[in-house]
Copies of this chain bind each other. A is one copy, B any other.
Amino acid sequence: MGRTSDARERLMSAMMELIWAGSYGATSVEGICDRAGVRKGSFYYFFESKTALAAAALEAGWEERRGELGKIFGEGVGPVERLRRWSGGLAAEQREMWERTGRVLGCPLHVLGAEISTQEEGLRRSIEKILGEYQGYVAAAILAAWGGGEERAMEAAARARRVFAYGEGLLTQARIANDPGLLDEMEEGVLAIALGVTAVAA
């Protein structure tokens, strides 16, 4: 039973790794099974299709990420420090990946979402839902940094969308340029956009 559940998890890990390092379209069931060390016959015991595996892998990945975000956005430190820790962490994570693999891969949600959103409605919805939940962490930190109450929650959510668009766009640009140096400005950019502390040109 241990082996069975291992195989399912190995398939999910392999799927996310292959999508992230390549693309959904370039990832085949054969390739996933090879990477996971699972026989193709077993694949269909766990998942009815590549799409079903991708959906399960997204959920599992988000569960894990949510745990990390819970710590990053935890209340041990002030809200500005939470935003700093988050944005600095995004940049550090990509640099570490680049040092290890030679590649900046950006955000798997945006990479997959950009590719499949017009073709795979179920996956598109999953990604949209996850991105919305993710933004909630950023919105809560912004609201706390503003010292705002519930009456400013909508405004904080809008600001979080702006911060998020910036962060995601920068991650994709770093993927396209394969250059972790582009992310050196992530922390400053996030704080400027989140808190309106952009240096005004004079």
Q: Mark A32-70, 1 if CB is under 8 A from B, else 0.
A: 000000000000000000000000000000000000000
Q: Is A148 at the interface (CB under 8 A from chain B)?
A: yes
For A155, list chain B residues within 8 Å (CB).
201
Among B23, B118, B124, B161, which residue has its beta carbon within 8 angstroms of that of A116? B23
B176 and A162 contacting across the interface, CB-CB below 8 Å: no
B195 and A201 contacting across the interface, CB-CB below 8 Å: yes
**Minimum-distance CB pairs A-B, first 5:** A25-B25, A169-B169, A165-B169, A196-B198, A165-B170
For A168, list chain B residues within 8 Å (CB).
169, 172-173
Instruction: List residues 102-116 of chain A with CB under 8 A from any CB of chain B.
Output: 103, 105-106, 110-111, 113-116
> Which positions in A face B, CB cutoff 8 Å?
21-26, 103, 105-106, 110-111, 113-119, 124, 127-128, 131, 145-146, 148, 152, 155, 158, 161-162, 164-170, 172-173, 175-178, 182, 185, 189, 192-193, 195-201
Question: With A131-B176, A168-B169, A201-B196 given, is the CB distance from A22 to B118 under 8 Å?
Answer: yes
For A110, list chain B residues within 8 Å (CB).
114, 169, 172, 176
Among B119, B167, B192, which residue has its beta carbon within 8 angstroms of that of A169? B167
- Give complex CA distance A116, B170 in Å: 17
Among B23, B116, B119, B172, which residue has its beta carbon within 8 angstroms of that of A172? B172
Q: What's the nearest-Cβ distance from chain B to residue A153, in Å?
A: 13
A201 and B166 contacting across the interface, CB-CB below 8 Å: no
Of the listed residues A25, A105, A117, A175, the one surrounded by the most CB atoms of chain B closer than 10 A to its CB is A117
Q: List 23 A-B contacts (CB under 8 A).
A: A23-B119, A105-B118, A106-B114, A113-B175, A113-B176, A114-B172, A117-B175, A117-B176, A118-B175, A124-B176, A127-B176, A128-B177, A145-B201, A155-B201, A161-B173, A162-B189, A164-B169, A165-B173, A169-B169, A169-B172, A193-B193, A195-B201, A196-B199
For A152, list chain B residues within 8 Å (CB).
201
